[in-house]
Amino acid sequence: MSGAGGFRGRHIVGSTAGGKRAKPTFKKGTFKRLIKTMSEYKVHLIFVLFCILVSSAAGAGSAIFLQILIDDHIMPLIGVENPSYSGILQVILVVAFIYLMGITATLLFSRIMVVVGQGTLKKIRDTMFKHMQTLPVKYFDANNHGDVMSHFTNDTDTLRQAISMSFPQMVSSVFTVVAAFSAMLYLSIWLAIFVCFYTVLLLAVAKLLVSRSGKYFMHQQTAIGDVNGYIEEIINGQKVVKVFCREDKVGTEFDSKNDVLYKAASEANKYGNITMPVVNNLGFLLYVLLAIVGGLLGIIGVSNLSLTGWNVMTVGTIISFLTLSRSFVNPIGMISMQFNSVVMALAGASRIFELLDEKPEQDEGTISLVNSVIEGDIRFDGVDFGYNEETIVLHDISLYAKPGQKVALVGATGAGKTTITNLINRFYDIADGKITYDSKNINDIIKSDLRKSLGIVLQDVNLFTGTVMDNIRYGKLDATDEECIKAAKLVNADGFICMLPDGYQTVLDGDGSSLSQGQLQLISIARAAVADPPVMILDEATSSIDTRTETIVQKGMDALMHGRTVFVIAHRLSTVRNADVIMVMEHGRIIERGSHDELLKEKGKYYELYTGVYELD
Amino acid sequence: MVKKLLRSVRDYKKNTITTPILVTVETILEITIPTLMAVLIDNGISKNDMTAVMWIGAALVLCAGASLFLGILAGRGAAVASTGFAKNLRHDIFYNVQSFSFSNIDKFSTASIITRLTTDVTNVQNAFQMIIRMGVRAPVMMVFALIFAFRINAQLSLVFLSVIPVLGLGLWLIISHVHPLFKKIFKSYDKLNRVVQENLHGIRVVKSFVREDHEIEKFEEVSKSIFDDFSKAEKRIAFNMPLMQFCLYACMLLLAWFGAQSIIASGNTPGLGLTTGELASLITYTMMILMSLMMLSMVFVMIIISRASAERIVEILDEKSNLVNGDNPVYDLPNGSIDFENVTFSYSDKGGKPVLDNINLHIESGKTVGIIGGTGSSKSSIVQLIPRLYDVLSGSVKVGGTNVKDYDLETLRNNVAMVLQKNTLFSGTIKENLRWGNEDATDEDLIIACKLAHADSFIQDFPDKYDTKIEQGGVNVSGGQRQRLCIARALLKKPKILILDDSTSAVDTKTENMIREEFNTGIPDVTVIIIAQRILSIKNADKIVVMDDGCIVSTGKHDELIKTCEIYKEVYESQDRGLGL
């Protein structure tokens, strides 16, 4: 008496709970794609690079400033009677000017990076959402909603820090490193080569740490998606949790997911946090090694090669070199620290690209319905369908609905009624057979045109946050207030809407919890009514509406259905009895068809389903 | 607010305290190392003394090793402390949400709770980690640098004090402008989450109305408002770094100006005034202060961002359930009788027209009661008072002769099973979902309950039977199947009272009949309350309650009501006609 498979959803067998589990490795090419995303800010970025250069140059200027001040301006004045400070003032003013430029440059690049960073984030969010809208219904069935939401917040957020802070710091550090290294070459090529080798070692260690933290950051983002998913599902069903006193159980399960997140996050941060001290202190080691090597070279008397040519390794050279090694290693430490926020961003980006790589719904349809007169003739010809290949839920369905006919689908729950309607609007594609719409194969019709011509009221009411008026207008975005009210009146929703505190302007929360289920159904019917489509599908559209109201609604519904092809799924005879043809379904097959009177006479399944009560009496 | 948050540190207190100590020692070592370096140059390299180089070098390596060791310990400690703190925060928020009553739940949107549990907690976690690491390192560094500077020349070092007002004013301006922006930003985050969530749930509606573009427009609007506000906030924060640079550069120039004069006046003689070497050191310390200020500014930015987040978290932590056990709660619920005495109820306590008005109703234990009434006549509201999902405004609801407010909430709800109109299944197997009703139910118990709810037959048809996976929201079972699973789940509680709030609307008449039959024989002692649209569903009830507009119009048996109650008669006739028999 019941169906044998998944209905309206994804395959049951072997499904993965909670949707996709991201592998804890980055998607290939994530970095490149991220850079590509930012490519529209090329000009901004070039300007930023320039500003960073100015800013770091000004910073570096401080070192030279002191030397010049002391050597060229202070020392000559010592011992002089009535010294004139104008020279000093001049130098200070010049440096002040340089500093001012540096400060301005800092301000400029920081502000431009805000635009670049936030702009990129917005672009990523918008692209993701746009892409999400193109995905097939299957994707939404299979993926944990909270996890998908996490892409828009937690994953996108990882990029913010990386773009607006880490990027400029890394660039400025790179400048400093390059400057310091050139200066080193200028002093001693031997020692510079030594530093080179050491740096390779340093980077190897840093890479090891960063790749470790990278792995855990990926775990962290996956875990946070999982936690997000769990929260979303539980908070959404919070009232059920309360009714079943499952607060503790749910809490325990949350704790275990929370713990997974904690472990990943703490590991990621551990490796992230120790990068800086490791690199820093290895820098001190370099200092000592340089002192020893330099000292030895000096003592042995090796002739020194520098960019200026061969010369003697003096004590002064070694001292300068040692000082330089500090300004060489410090920024490397900075870079390796920033690397952590970069790998975290890559972890987020990797998940984002995973969403963007989901295959969109295919639409190979070419026939437009826009300018054609739609008759509303729908035929199924030997249609087989299964949500997955193993389980076929619809077998050899053939039916036709002539223009203006009302076709009712009845049958025990799970017989495959909703599935049929899901095929007409192509939420899923059939395995075998053919569905035609006005003699055109529906696969050849442009999907959006096809769907626009079908008005659907679904079993589960989904309204959107906004006013009642907005929700009705959802059926036809350019409908006037009058049109919406007319539609509401038609389905008898006007009465209760006017009783609401703000009438049509009453704001509904996400799940419309302030209204009863029946009222929500009325609004969703009004929404379909305002769309005025040639074909309508009503799937248990009035199941939560009391029959007295339904009788009144029925008049409106009859008026609504007049002249349209209508598919009705309902348990109430009142809803289906005046249908032109009733299809009785069982186990994915049509077992009886005919008008109400004919079927009753037949005393078959239909008779049994709807009159069982009286027999029992 | 901070105090409230810090309560969540708990078992990570040790790390929270040791980390700053380790960081302090590490920082002091790090400040010492440059001094050693100077010694290395002065006493080793300059004098060409390789032994000295070796010795001092060894000392340096030792210091670096110690600093490395401390650094690693501190880094790990900070990681554990901050992520542990975040874990506890999430735990506390989630558990507090679990303690919420229905009216508390109605107050916060799902999307907003989600943002608070993830984005906001992450912000606070980052700020916390920064505070116990950089927030310690920077001041220690600054204090030491200042001490050294003042020891060299106290008079000149007063220059540092002169920039404090500028710095203070600047920071104050930034904070006061940015904080409100962040408050707004996180509200937009809620909205963003909500739009995404609504689209995920309602994708079938979006797609069937071909409203993808409309939704994208809606999303982009929120996305843009986040972009606008965040850009505005960050652009203001961008003043932070230049401000610090300005102050420090100013100090440096002032030092150079006055320092130069002092050197020249004293003839570069130690003791008389400043020397060139001392000036160089002063400038070095200034650079150190600059470094620590930069670090502080990073901490500062994190604090600004997380302050708004922290407030949002505390808002949830502060929300206390308005439905709590009274003193000496009753743990024994004798029977399934129900009494409503002069009950008035409203969802908001602000007044307005009450949803239920002066309800009086007595239901004997073990009876079956049907409730029928128009759409929006408060049928659901009346039954939600029985398991105390909401509290009455006035009057009292008694179960088993005791006021529901006097029961232990869990006792009450375990004895009053309710199938909500908007029933939800959770992702997991059918078995797991059913065991929500009773954790310890055996497989046989499950089958018995499912047979009662007439769910066993279709479950047996699934390839995986009771181990069949239910997708989130139960999208892979049909509406009627979902309803029957929900009934079975409620039955597993073995309740004394069972409430079905329009729970068979998607079940066909025949099956519904069979379920009712099963109930009559299977659970005869349970008080069953059925809210229904179909007269057939409740026709045989011991008592039928007819409701209209928040009031009970009439009660009685079917045969009586058909004669006495106009509304009932009308409903009956509309359906009888519908049957066409």
User: Which residues, 6 or more positions from A551, have their beta carbon under 8 angstroms from its beta carbon?
Assistant: A574, B574
- Test B260 with A74 for CB contact under 8 angstroms: yes
**How would you class B563 by CB atoms within 10 Å of its CB: exposed for 0-12, middle for 13-18, buried for 19 or more?**
exposed
Contacts of B287 in chain A (CB under 8 A): 62
Between the two ends of chain A, the Cα-to-Cα distance in Å is 22
- Test A496 with B260 for CB contact under 8 angstroms: no
Largest alpha-carbon pair distance within chain B?
A: 121
* A521 in any annotated domain: no
**How would you class A156 by CB atoms within 10 Å of its CB: exposed for 0-12, middle for 13-18, buried for 19 or more?**
buried
Going by pLDDT thresholds of 50, 70 and 90, the confidence category of residue A614 is very low
Q: Nearest CB to B216: which of A130, A141, A272?
A: A130
Strand partners, A569: A409, A539
Q: How far apart are CA A476 and CA A491, in angstroms?
A: 16
| Interfacial B residues in 507-526 facing A (CB < 8 Å) | 507-511, 513, 517
Which one has a higher pLDDT value, A542 or B154?
Answer: B154
Q: Report which secondary-structure segment, H or E, holds A485.
A: helix A481-490
- Test B71 with A15 for CB contact under 8 angstroms: no
A305/B contact by beta carbon, under 8 A: no
Across residues A132-158, what is the average pLDDT? 86
Which one has a higher pLDDT value, B231 or A604?
Answer: B231
CATH code matching the domain that covers B2-318, chosen among 3.30.930.10, 1.20.1260.10, 3.40.50.970, 1.20.1560.10: 1.20.1560.10
- Test B375 with A518 for CB contact under 8 angstroms: yes
> What pTM was computed for the model?
0.84
Q: Are A451 and A39 in contact (CB under 8 A)?
A: no
Q: Nearest CB to A270: which of B79, B90, B252?
A: B79
User: Which residues, 6 or more positions from A366, have their beta carbon under 8 angstroms from its beta carbon?
Assistant: A444, A446
Q: Report which secondary-structure segment, H or E, holds B450.
A: helix B443-452
What confidence score (pLDDT) does residue B349 get?
65
Question: Of A390, A419, A253, A229, which is closest to residue B464 (Cα–Cα)?
Answer: A390
What confidence score (pLDDT) does residue A24 get?
56
What confidence score (pLDDT) does residue B279 get?
81
Distance of CA A31 to the CA centre of its chain: 18
Contacts of B575 in chain A (CB under 8 A): 547, 572, 574
* A407 in any annotated domain: no
What confidence score (pLDDT) does residue A323 get?
75
Q: Spell out the alpha helix ranges (H) of B453-557.
A: 456-461, 479-491, 509-522, 535-538
Going by pLDDT thresholds of 50, 70 and 90, the confidence category of residue A258 is very high
What confidence score (pLDDT) does residue B158 get?
86
State the CATH number of the domain containing residue A151: 1.20.1560.10
Contacts of B472 in chain A (CB under 8 A): 18, 144-145, 233
ipTM tops the 0.90 cut: no
Contacts of B418 in chain A (CB under 8 A): 243
What confidence score (pLDDT) does residue B473 get?
67
Helix A517-531, helix A547-561: angle, nearest 10: 10
What confidence score (pLDDT) does residue A616 get?
34
What confidence score (pLDDT) does residue B106 get?
77
B535/A contact by beta carbon, under 8 A: yes
Across residues A247-258, what is the average pLDDT? 88
Interface test with A, best of B110, B226, B504 (most A CBs within 10 A): B110
Question: Of B441, B395, B452, B445, which is closest to residue B419 (Cα–Cα)?
Answer: B452
User: Between the CA of residue A606 and those of A237, A413, B506, what are the distances in Å?
Assistant: 36, 13, 16
How many Cα neighbours within 13 Å face the side chain of A490? 22
Minimum Cα–Cα distance from B115: chain A residue: A153
Q: How far apart are CA B417 and CA A244, in angstroms?
A: 7
Share of chain A above pLDDT 70, in %: 92
- Test B414 with A245 for CB contact under 8 angstroms: yes
User: Which residues, 6 or more positions from B235, have their beta carbon under 8 angstroms from its beta carbon?
Assistant: A111, A114
Q: Cα B328–B330–B336 angle (5° rounding)?
A: 160
Q: Which two tokens stand for residue A592?
A: 């009886």
Q: Is the dihedral of CA B39, B43, B49, B51 positive or negative?
A: negative
What confidence score (pLDDT) does residue A615 get?
39
A301/B contact by beta carbon, under 8 A: no
Q: Are B90 and A258 in contact (CB under 8 A)?
A: yes
- The total of other beta-carbon atoms located within 10 Å of residue A221's CB is 29
Between the two ends of chain B, the Cα-to-Cα distance in Å is 69
Q: Report which secondary-structure segment, H or E, holds A594.
A: strand A589-594
Minimum Cα–Cα distance from B280: chain A residue: A66
In DSSP notation, A190-235 reads HHHHHHHHHHHHHHHHHHHHHHHHHHHHHHHHHHHHHHHHHHHHHH
Q: Which two tokens stand for residue A312?
A: 């003697």
What confidence score (pLDDT) does residue B415 get?
86
Going by pLDDT thresholds of 50, 70 and 90, the confidence category of residue A63 is low
What confidence score (pLDDT) does residue A512 get?
54
Q: How far apart are CA B195 and CA B330, in angstroms?
A: 44
pLDDT exceeds cutoff 50 at A20: no
Q: Are B379 and B538 in contact (CB under 8 A)?
A: no
* A589 in any annotated domain: no
Going by pLDDT thresholds of 50, 70 and 90, the confidence category of residue A48 is very high
Q: How far apart are CA A242 and CA B409, in angstroms?
A: 10
A253/B contact by beta carbon, under 8 A: no
3-class secondary structure per residue, B462-476: CCCHHHCEECHHHCC
Helix B13-39, helix A247-300: angle, nearest 10: 10
pLDDT exceeds cutoff 50 at A203: yes
User: Residue B34, SS3?
Assistant: helix
Q: How far apart are CA A294 and CA A313, in angstroms?
A: 8
A406/B contact by beta carbon, under 8 A: no
- Test B510 with A412 for CB contact under 8 angstroms: yes
Find out if CATH 3.90.1150.10 is the number for domain B338-579. no
Question: Phi-psi region for residue B473, left (φ > 0), alpha (ψ -120 to 50) or beta?
Answer: left
- Test A547 with B575 for CB contact under 8 angstroms: yes
In DSSP notation, B111-125 reads HHHHHIIIIIHHHHH
What confidence score (pLDDT) does residue A119 get?
92
B208/A contact by beta carbon, under 8 A: yes
Q: How far apart are CA A551 and CA A557, in angstroms?
A: 10
User: Between the CA of residue A64 and those of A91, A119, A342, B278, what are the distances in Å?
Assistant: 12, 38, 33, 16
Q: Cα A307–A312–A313 angle (5° rounding)?
A: 85
A429/B contact by beta carbon, under 8 A: no
pLDDT exceeds cutoff 50 at A613: no
The predicted-structure confidence for A77-105, as pLDDT tens digits, reads as follows 777 777 778 888 888 888 899 889 999 99
pLDDT exceeds cutoff 60 at A67: yes
Q: Which residue has the tokens 């300005």?
A: B246
Q: Are A278 and A205 in contact (CB under 8 A)?
A: yes
What confidence score (pLDDT) does residue B460 get?
82
Q: Chain A: nearest CA to B74, how far in angstroms?
A: 8
Across residues A310-315, what is the average pLDDT? 74
Q: How far apart are CA B122 and CA A267, in angstroms?
A: 15
B82/A contact by beta carbon, under 8 A: yes
A181/B contact by beta carbon, under 8 A: no
What confidence score (pLDDT) does residue A76 get?
80
Question: Of A458, A419, A422, A432, which is closest to residue A7 (Cα–Cα)?
Answer: A419
Contacts of B206 in chain A (CB under 8 A): 133
pLDDT exceeds cutoff 80 at A39: yes
Q: How far apart are CA B510 and CA B504, in angstroms?
A: 11
Distance of CA B151 to the CA centre of its chain: 51
Q: Chain B: nearest CA to A443, how far in angstroms?
A: 16
What count of residues does chain A have? 617
What confidence score (pLDDT) does residue B354 get?
79
| Chain mean pLDDT for chain A | 81
What confidence score (pLDDT) does residue B352 get?
64
* A491 in any annotated domain: no
Strand pairing of B416-419 and B497-501?
Answer: parallel
Which one has a higher pLDDT value, A16 or A488?
Answer: A488
Going by pLDDT thresholds of 50, 70 and 90, the confidence category of residue A1 is very low
Q: Chain B: nearest CA to A92, how far in angstroms?
A: 6
How many Cα neighbours within 13 Å face the side chain of A237? 25
Largest alpha-carbon pair distance within chain A?
A: 129
3-class secondary structure per residue, A557-577: HHHHHCCCEEEEECCCHHHHC
Distance of CA B241 to the CA centre of its chain: 33
User: Residue B392, SS3?
Assistant: coil
Q: Report which secondary-structure segment, H or E, holds A62.
A: helix A42-68
Which of A291-300, A387-396, B567-576 bottoms out in mean pLDDT, i.e. has the lowest? B567-576
A200/B contact by beta carbon, under 8 A: no
Q: Which two tokens stand for residue A50?
A: 């320039």
Q: Are A318 and A187 in contact (CB under 8 A)?
A: no
Q: Which residues of chain B fall short of a pLDDT of 50?
A: 577-581
In DSSP notation, B282-306 reads HHHHHHHHHHHHHHHHHHHHHHHHH
Q: Chain B: nearest CA to A110, how far in angstroms?
A: 5
User: Between the CA of residue A458 and those of A525, A570, B425, what are the distances in Å?
Assistant: 9, 11, 18
Total domains in chain A come to 1
Across residues A399-410, what is the average pLDDT? 86
Going by pLDDT thresholds of 50, 70 and 90, the confidence category of residue A122 is very high
pLDDT exceeds cutoff 60 at A12: no
Q: Which residue has the tokens 């055996």?
A: B442
3-class secondary structure per residue, B250-294: HHHHHHHHHHHHHHHHHCCCECCECCHHHHHHHHHHHHHHHHHHH
What is the domain partition of chain B in residue ranges?
Answer: 2-318, 338-579
Q: Cα A349–A352–A357 angle (5° rounding)?
A: 120
Q: Are A585 and A417 in contact (CB under 8 A)?
A: yes
A103/B contact by beta carbon, under 8 A: yes
Q: Chain A: nearest CA to B487, how far in angstroms?
A: 12
User: Residue A44, SS3?
Assistant: helix
User: Which residues, 6 or more positions from A196, have their beta carbon under 8 angstroms from its beta carbon?
Assistant: none
- Test A517 with B422 for CB contact under 8 angstroms: yes
Across residues A420-427, what is the average pLDDT? 85
pLDDT exceeds cutoff 50 at A259: yes
User: Residue B220, SS3?
Assistant: helix
